[in-house]
């Protein structure tokens, strides 16, 4: 197994990576002061010699907090800095774009609502995924939809060293929100003085309905850092500005009612068959419109080695963003004036356009991340780690007009100040010196987790939606959730080729202080609480030095978020869709996998199944009159499938690196008492097939060319699968997208890149249109 281990590590750590493989057994652990043995004299990381080991997962040798535990009983995929440096990466989530059976719902560069979808988790179930950066939780578990994405903006791509994706909830180290996947981002710290600058420009030409124009953007980042004795720091800034393609269009079903007296004759409408094959009139760009966004980021990381085996770090992140969503009407009257609302005649037929059909919006927010960690880093024996974080949405204002058209008329102001979350993790581990080679050895992990999510949104009316003061109260909602957990896990090598990983997680969840307010009335909701044990187990067998088989099973509970319980969502100035009686999602996950080191790379084959009771989803209860639409528990959803992946270097010829994957997932609704018509149908937005391919050829040390492709198969935008025409606006497309990038290093300290995404300008949709063909130009300079 030792040879297999080194081969596995060689693909996680490329030839010029800065990782040290002398820390392979390091995993996060508990506060050192709690266990004095952590500080006992032991082989320190810088001087330790590497014992004979084997690695059965894509273990990260990074010493950063949050690095992957080599004993995790799950399928793990890794992408390194040297790989994604040759891709078109502008935002942090772009580094995940070619991961197996995973997709990122990113509608444009700078999209605030980018969430991941993986296996049986759709791209609206954001609370089924976890994202950490150096152990700091970035997942926005205030809600569960595209409106609550991870805070990717707290990491800029140039600081990332490695990203690991852990599939499924098979480890006791992570909460039930890992039901889909857990993303661990490890960032780098300088070993000597460095200064870096990176500038990108990008443009796309987009044509659909009445829009035919180019949309442009740019990004610039810079960082400076150094290591002086025991102290190191890294300071980075990032600025992004971009204008999106149209994200949403105003539509009405094609009318069969003849025009009426008083209707205004208009021209300019477009017609198409929508996702349900209903003839539809397109009136203009509305809703989120054409969004112009400006984002600024500041990041400071400090690190100090108190002793050879004790290290502390501090992180300060700041992110400020503004957006302006402009709308426009295609309709013109006989004099050429734009028409935004009212009764109109289109082609001799009567239409009524709502006043808010073309309502624009704008807003801004300030976000702060504070993080501290203290850890030991012994090569073997006891290790401990404590991580505390606080995410504060200090200033958030969203302004929305009540009607379309120019001017500064009435509207609403939504204040999201006082919203955020805080976390604490204490973890301890014990790693025997002969953990992998010896028989009967136990590698232990145990810890405590705490998180507290709190939301406080206030909506007011105003007479001037663009910059006016509030005039009257409209509505408000507040709520909090808190989770405390204890967990323990043991990796026991009971025979030379056999390892058994087993553990349990105990979680105590509470929801409290939930309330909704309307003018003259406040509804306070009762507190709720749940307590559950989540057992996990995995058995692996090393068939040979190159082949490992593993069977895993785990139960996980995904608890409701504050917004699902107390708010749901805000539609204009009215609060709708809340359900304070939701039960947690109850999942039983199973996986069989094989990993084979061959052809200068690693193959993985995984069979998986998730049986989720009480899936939380916004749907319509058709068993009551009138129908009620809100977040409800769906009785049972089963997702099963197969994944194949390959990652290798110097494949077939020297210099060719390859990532390839194909996955099939069938996710079906088995029980749904509130909407019987959905039983037996495919679940929302989970494609039957996903496939990714990224090939990078290094002509020499200075020049590289990447060609890549992404494929997503048939999926449905409704629980009843009534969207029979998916490849149009409002549908969810099947698509194949090709990307390319050419990278050249004129000197050792400079680099230029030219790239394109969506090479063949495919028009595809996730209800909203995805970007058209996008060109990139990039220049980097390092000192």
Burial of 677 by CB count in 10 Å (0-12 exposed, 13-18 middle, 19+ buried)? middle
- Longest CA–CA span in the chain (Å) reads 92
Indicate if the pLDDT at residue 9 is higher than 60.
Answer: no
pLDDT at 434: 66
How much is the pTM? 0.89
Alpha carbon distance 495, 483 (integer Å):
37
Which tens digit of pLDDT belongs to each residue from 204-243? 999 999 999 999 999 999 999 999 999 999 999 999 999 9
Q: Quick one: average pLDDT of 161-187?
A: 96
Confidence of residue 7 (pLDDT cuts 50, 70, 90): very low
What percent of the chain clears pLDDT 90, i.e. is strictly above it?
A: 82
- Which residues have C-beta within 8 Å of that of residue 653, sequence separation ≥ 6? none
Confidence of residue 460 (pLDDT cuts 50, 70, 90): very high
User: In whole angstroms, how far apart are CA 572 and each of 3, 360, 401, 627, 629?
Assistant: 61, 12, 9, 21, 16
Indicate if the pLDDT at residue 648 is higher than 70.
Answer: yes
Confidence of residue 64 (pLDDT cuts 50, 70, 90): very low
Indicate if the pLDDT at residue 577 is higher than 80.
Answer: no
Residue-by-residue DSSP string for 187-234: E---SS-EEEEEEEEEEEEEEETTEEEEEEEEEEEEEEEEEETTEEEE
Alpha carbon distance 664, 671 (integer Å):
22
pLDDT at 712: 98
SS3 assignment for 378-394: ECCEEEEEEEEEEEEEE
Q: How far is CA 362 from the centre of its chain?
A: 24
- Which residues have C-beta within 8 Å of that of residue 697, sequence separation ≥ 6? 655, 656, 657, 704, 705, 706
Alpha carbon distance 555, 562 (integer Å):
23
Q: Quick one: average pLDDT of 176-187?
A: 96
Choose among 223, 171, 157: nearest CA to 193: 223
* CATH topology (fold) of 2-782: Maltoporin; Chain A (2.40.170)
* Range with the poorest average pLDDT among 347-351, 417-421, 628-632, 682-686: 628-632
Alpha carbon distance 136, 371 (integer Å):
7
Q: Quick one: average pLDDT of 149-167?
A: 95
What does the domain layout of the chain look like in residue ranges?
2-782
Indicate if the pLDDT at residue 143 is higher than 50.
Answer: yes
Number of helices and strands in the chain (H, E): 3, 40
* Range with the poorest average pLDDT among 62-71, 116-125, 349-358, 416-425: 62-71
Backbone φ, ψ for residue 768 (5° rounding): -75, 155
Alpha carbon distance 561, 329 (integer Å):
37
Confidence of residue 46 (pLDDT cuts 50, 70, 90): very low
Is-contact 125 118, C-beta < 8 A?
no
Indicate if the pLDDT at residue 55 is higher than 80.
Answer: no
Indicate if the pLDDT at residue 244 is higher than 80.
Answer: yes
In angstroms and rounded to an integer, the radius of gyration of the C-alpha atoms of the chain is: 27
Q: Chain-wide mean pLDDT for the chain? A: 89
Is-contact 317 302, C-beta < 8 A?
no
Which tens digit of pLDDT belongs to each residue from 467-498? 999 999 999 999 999 999 999 999 999 999 99
User: CA 757, 718, 131, 456 torsion: positive or negative?
Assistant: positive
End-to-end CA distance of the chain: 41
Indicate if the pLDDT at residue 19 is higher than 50.
Answer: no
pLDDT at 16: 35
Question: Which is higher by pLDDT, 754 or 620?
Answer: 754
Choose among 417, 249, 228, 385: nearest CA to 309: 385
Confidence of residue 438 (pLDDT cuts 50, 70, 90): low
pLDDT at 287: 80
Both structure tokens of 314: 């501090």
Q: How would you classify the pairing of strands 381-401 and 361-376?
A: antiparallel
Q: Quick one: average pLDDT of 586-590?
A: 98
How many residues are listed for the chain in this entry? 783
Indicate if the pLDDT at residue 366 is higher than 80.
Answer: yes
């Amino acid at each position: 197994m030792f040879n297999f281990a080194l081969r596995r590590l060689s693909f996680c750590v490329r030839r010029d990576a800065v990782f040290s493989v002398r820390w392979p057994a390091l995993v996060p652990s508990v506060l050192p002061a709690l266990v004095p043995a952590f500080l006992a004299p032991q082989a320190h990381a810088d001087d330790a010699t590497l014992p004979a080991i084997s690695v059965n997962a894509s273990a990260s040798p990074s010493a950063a907090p949050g690095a992957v535990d080599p004993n995790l009983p799950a399928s793990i995929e890794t992408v390194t800095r040297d790989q994604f440096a040759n891709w078109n990466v502008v935002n942090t989530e772009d580094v995940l774009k070619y991961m197996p059976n995973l997709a990122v719902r990113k509608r444009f560069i700078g999209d605030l609502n980018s969430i991941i979808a993986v296996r049986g988790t759709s791209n609206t179930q954001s609370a089924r995924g976890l994202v950490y950066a150096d152990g700091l939780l970035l997942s926005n578990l205030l809600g569960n939809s595209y409106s609550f994405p991870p805070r990717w903006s707290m990491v800029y791509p140039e600081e990332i060293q490695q990203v690991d994706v852990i599939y499924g909830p098979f480890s006791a180290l992570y909460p039930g929100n890992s039901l889909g996947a857990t993303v661990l981002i490890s960032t780098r710290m300088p070993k000597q003085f460095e200064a870096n600058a990176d500038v990108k420009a990008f443009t796309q030409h987009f044509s659909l309905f009445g829009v035919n124009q180019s949309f442009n953007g740019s990004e610039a980042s810079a960082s400076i850092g150094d290591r002086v004795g025991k102290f190191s720091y890294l300071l980075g800034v990032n600025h992004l500005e971009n204008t999106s393609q149209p994200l949403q269009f105003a539509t009405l079903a094609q009318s069969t009612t003849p025009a009426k007296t008083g209707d205004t004759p208009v021209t300019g409408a477009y017609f198409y068959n929508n996702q349900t094959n209903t003839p539809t009139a397109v009136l203009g760009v509305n809703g989120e419109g054409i969004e112009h966004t400006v984002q600024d980021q500041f990041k400071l990381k400090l690190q100090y080695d108190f002793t050879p085996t004790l290290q502390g770090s501090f992180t300060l992140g700041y992110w400020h963003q503004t957006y302006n969503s402009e709308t426009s009407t295609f309709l013109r009257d006989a004099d050429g004036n734009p028409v935004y609302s009212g009764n109109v005649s289109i082609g001799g037929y009567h239409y009524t356009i709502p006043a808010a059909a073309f309502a624009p919006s704008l807003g801004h927010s300030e976000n702060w991340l504070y993080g501290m960690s203290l850890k030991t880093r012994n090569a073997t024996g006891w290790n401990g780690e404590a991580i505390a974080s606080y995410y504060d949405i200090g200033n958030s204002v969203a302004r929305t007009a009540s009607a379309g058209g120019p001017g500064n008329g009435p509207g609403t102001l939504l204040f999201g100040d006082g919203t955020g979350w805080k976390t604490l993790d204490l973890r301890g581990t014990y790693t025997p010196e002969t953990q992998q080679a010896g028989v009967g050895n136990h590698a232990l992990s145990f810890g405590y987790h705490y998180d507290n999510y709190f939301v406080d949104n206030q909506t007011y009316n105003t007479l001037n939606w663009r910059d006016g003061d509030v005039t009257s109260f409209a509505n408000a909602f507040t709520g909090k959730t808190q989770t405390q957990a204890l967990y323990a896990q043991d990796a026991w090598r009971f025979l030379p080729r056999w390892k058994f990983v087993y553990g349990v997680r105990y979680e105590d969840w509470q929801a409290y202080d939930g309330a909704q307010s309307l003018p003259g009335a406040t509804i306070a909701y009762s507190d709720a609480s749940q307590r559950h044990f989540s057992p996990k187990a995995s058995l692996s067998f090393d068939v040979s030095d190159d082949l490992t088989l593993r069977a895993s099973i785990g139960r996980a509970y995904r608890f409701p978020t504050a917004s699902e319980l107390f708010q749901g969502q805000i539609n204009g100035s009215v609060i709708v869709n809340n359900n304070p009686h939701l039960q947690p999602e109850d999942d039983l996950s199973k996986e069989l996998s094989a990993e084979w080191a061959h052809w200068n790379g690693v193959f993985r084959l995984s069979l998986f199944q998730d049986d989720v009771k009480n899936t939380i989803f916004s749907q319509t209860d058709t068993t009551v009159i009138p129908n009620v639409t809100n977040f409800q528990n769906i009785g049972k959803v089963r997702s099963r499938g197969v994944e194949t992946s390959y990652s290798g270097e110097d494949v077939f010829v020297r210099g060719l690196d390859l990532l390839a994957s194909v996955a099939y997932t069938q996710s079906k609704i088995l029980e749904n008492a509130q909407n019987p018509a959905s039983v037996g149908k495919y679940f929302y937005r989970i494609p039957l097939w996903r496939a990714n391919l990224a090939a990078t050829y290094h002509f020499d040390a200075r020049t590289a060319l990447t060609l890549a492709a992404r494929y997503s198969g048939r999926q449905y935008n409704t629980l009843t699968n009534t969207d029979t025409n998916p490849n149009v606006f409002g549908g969810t497309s099947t698509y194949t997208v090709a990307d390319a990038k050419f990278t050249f290093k004129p000197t050792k300290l400079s680099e230029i890149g030219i790239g394109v995404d969506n090479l063949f300008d495919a028009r595809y949709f996730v209800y909203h249109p995805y970007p058209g063909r996008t060109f990139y130009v990039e220049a980097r300079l390092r000192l």
